[in-house]
């Protein structure tokens, strides 16, 4: 049974990222594809890492936070250590997102009031 391997173009297409983004993730050592000459191939490990990277970015984590989190597993510290760090990061990020939402709610109320006042004075 052969493992799935994606070439560079397939990896970009699968995750809807630009070649520049994919090369950057390799440069900062988030991804380490197999190389055959100039060709790069991404196996299941790299596909899983890319999934985690993009999920982390969507949740607002920095690339450095994501790199450190992935590194825990790579160092052999195991899933337990990785899970604990993930929970700490998630708690911190949730606090920040809640604070940003509260700020946005205030801005929306203020803007709505100013808009309504302006419309009423036409």
Q: List the chain domain ranges.
A: 1-58, 78-122
Sequence-separated (6 or more) residues with CB below 8 Å from residue 26: 32, 33, 40
DSSP H or E run through 35: strand 34-36
CATH, range 1-58: 1.10.1660.10
Report yes or no: 31 and 50 within 8 Å, Cβ to Cβ.
yes
For the question of whether the overall pTM of this predicted structure is more than 0.75, the answer is yes
Q: pLDDT (tens digit, 9 = 90+) per residue, 52-63?
A: 999 999 999 999
pLDDT in tens, 16-52: 999 999 999 999 999 999 999 999 999 999 999 999 9
């Amino acid at each position: 049974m052969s493992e799935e391997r994606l070439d560079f173009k397939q990896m970009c297409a699968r995750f809807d990222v630009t070649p520049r983004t994919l090369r950057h993730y390799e440069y900062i050592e988030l991804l380490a594809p197999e190389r055959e000459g100039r060709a790069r191939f991404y196996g299941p490990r790299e596909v899983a890492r890319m999934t985690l990277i993009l999920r982390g970015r969507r949740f607002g984590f920095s690339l450095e936070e994501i790199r450190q989190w992935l590194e825990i597993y790579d160092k052999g510290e195991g899933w337990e250590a990785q899970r604990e760090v993930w929970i700490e990061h998630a708690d911190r990020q949730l606090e920040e997102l809640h604070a940003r939402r509260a700020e946005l709610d205030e801005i929306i109320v203020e803007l709505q009031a100013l808009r309504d006042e302006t419309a009423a004075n036409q």
